[in-house]
Structure 1
Amino acid sequence: MPSVLLIEDEPALGMIVKDSLEVRGFAVQYAADGEEGLKLFRQQCPDIVVADVMMPKLDGFSLAEQIRRENRTVPIIFLTARSQPADVVRGFELGGSDYLKKPFSMDELIVRIRARLGQAPAAAPNEPATLRIGQYHFDHLKQRLHLGPHEEALTHREAELLKRLYDQRNQVLERTAVLQELWGDDNFFNGRSLDVFITRLRRYLKDDPQVQIVNVRGVGYKLIS
């Protein structure tokens, strides 16, 4: 049973979301503020975190920043009424996996939770377990990127995006197509999220100067290796 840590300072909304998730087969731990949420995160090690942004004691962005110091891979979905582009970008830069604006439907939240918890697809029959990207070794299924003794643990979406860039290496990966496939929509907010993820992948690959992810203006991205 997937475990969800729900952190929401509006008790009525928190209870509605908690009950709705439990009816659909999730085990839910509920916290009413960021400090309590961080404590539960350390105690329970949930599969996913769903957190409001504007909370007392410790806001959602600060909570995510703290969680990312301790765990780089657990998905974090922000719930918030804040929809300014700068807020959205900051949330993703701090390690958020998804961003859902209030008011939201429970069906949409559940779809996004399930998507973030999805397993990576099985490798194709003739595909090696480890892929070479320049000097890097990329294990798609285990979501790991290696360069010598150094190992980088990728999030599910980072691994899926890198796999698509690898499959289209030295060709253009179309921005609209990858947004539809991995984000479900090519709207402005998801587009800014994709930009943040591309920046992260560039940082992971920076130690091999022969590997580059270049922008193809108005079209998408190209992995050169």
Structure 2
Amino acid sequence: MTRIKLLYVEDEPFLGKIVKESLESRDFEVCMVADGGEVMSKYLTFGPDLCVLDVMLPHRDGYELAQEIRSINPRMPILFLTARTQTDDVLKGFQSGGNDYIRKPFSMEELIVRIRNLYQLAGTRGDVAPQHSASTGTSPLSESIRLGRYQFYPHLYELHLGGQVRKLSHRETELLNILIENRNFKVQRRDILMRVWGDDSFFNSRNLDVYITRLRDYFREDPTVEIVTLKGVGYLFKGAEQVQA
């Protein structure tokens, strides 16, 4: 089995040592960094599959680092560690590019489950080049789905409208994929929460509302693409004939 490469950023040396050793004992390959100012150079040389970022760091905080990592690789899974409890702080983490979060103090079992879940959802190493199909000679990254006037490239995390390209986050792409899979059928809110976030807590439910609002805004140029809220049930993705390009 391929070892998952983790970039682990934590400025508390005692906690960092325990977490690093625990992860390595479970066959993860871990590069630990304590200073926010050193993270990007380590990121580029180490080439991680997933990043675990503390929020509060010397010189550069986790939010800023997540944004820079996202600008380099939009597909990189990012898990935030935070001691903060305010909803706005955690929402800021998602808005800066985080895919998931875990609050301190945490159990190693929960951390490992969340890491493995994010890695599996990503579906591929974040830094791997596209693989070519032997039968067609084309890259799966070129495959797209027509959504009204839009072209959705799920493997590239991109939504195209004419010459405009919108980069989607990992979680936006996951959510849009689920809606497309259930096109013209209702999808339960809880099913989305369990598939994308791993639990259906009130906090994650609030996050889902934020992401649905974003997707609606992305599709505002074409009224045939509609995400309908079914109150107390979930959502219905309407219109927009699905066609593989």
Q: Say whether the fold is shared (TM-score over 0.5).
A: yes
Letter in 1 for 2:224: Q
Q: Which residue of 2 aligns with 1:170?
A: 184
Q: For 1:144-223, what aligned pairs fall within 5 Å after superposition?
A: 144-148=158-162, 154-223=168-237
Moved more, 198-207 or 35-44: 198-207
Give the 3-state SS of the residue equivalent to 2:43 in structure 1: helix
Who is 2:36 aligned against? Answer: 34
2:114 corresponds to 1:74: no
Equivalent of 2:97, from 78, 95, 98?
A: 95
- Decide whether aligned partners of structure 1 residues 53 and 137 sit closer, same or farther in structure 2, where only a CA change above 3 A counts: same
Deviation at 1:142, TM superposition (A): 6.0
TM-superposed CA distance for 1:3, in Å, is 1.3
Mapped to 1, the partners of 2:79 and 2:73 lie a distance apart of 15
Q: Deviations along 1:110-129, whole A, 9 cap, x unmatched?
A: 111111111549xxxxxxx6
SS in 1 for 2:27: coil
Deviation at 1:202, TM superposition (A): 3.1
The one-letter amino acid of 2:222's match is D
Could you tell me whether the CA contact under 8 Å between 2:7 and 2:43 is conserved in 1?
Answer: yes
Query: Among the aligned pairs, what percent are the same residue?
Result: 50
The Cα of 1:206 is off from its aligned counterpart by 3.7
Q: For residue 124 of structure 1, what is the aligned residue in structure 2? A: none
Distance 2:88 2:228 in 1: 24
Which residue matches 1:47?
49
d(CA) in 1 for partners of 2:45, 2:152: 32
Instruction: Give the 3-state SS of the residue equivalent to 2:65 in structure 1.
Output: helix
The aligned counterpart of 1:110 is 112
**Letter paired with 1:61:** Y
Contact 1:8 1:31 in 2 (8 A): yes
SS in 2 for 1:104: coil
Structure 1: which 4+ aligned runs deviate by more than 6 Å?
none
The Cα RMSD (Å) is 2.5
1:178-219 per-residue CA deviation (whole Å, 9 max, x = no partner) reads 112222211022112323332443344344332122333333
Per-residue deviation, 1:5: 0.6
Distance 1:195 1:210 in 2: 21
1:33-91 Cα shifts (integer Å, max 9, x gaps): 21112231233332111011112211112222232233322111111111111111111
Q: Give the TM-score normalised by structure 1.
A: 0.84
Residues 18 and 30 in structure 1, CA contact (< 8 A), matched pair in contact too: yes
What residue ranges of structure 2 are gaps of 5+ in the alignment?
Answer: 125-142, 240-245
- TM-aligned CA distance change 1:34 to 1:214, over 3 Å: farther
> Partner amino acid for 1:162?
L
Q: Which residue of 2 aligns with 1:4?
A: 6
Gaps of 5+ in 1: 122-128
Query: 2: distance between equivalents of 1:45 and 1:148?
Result: 33
Residue of structure 1 equivalent to 2:145: 131
SS in structure 2 of the partner of residue 68 of structure 1: helix
Letter in 2 for 1:13: L
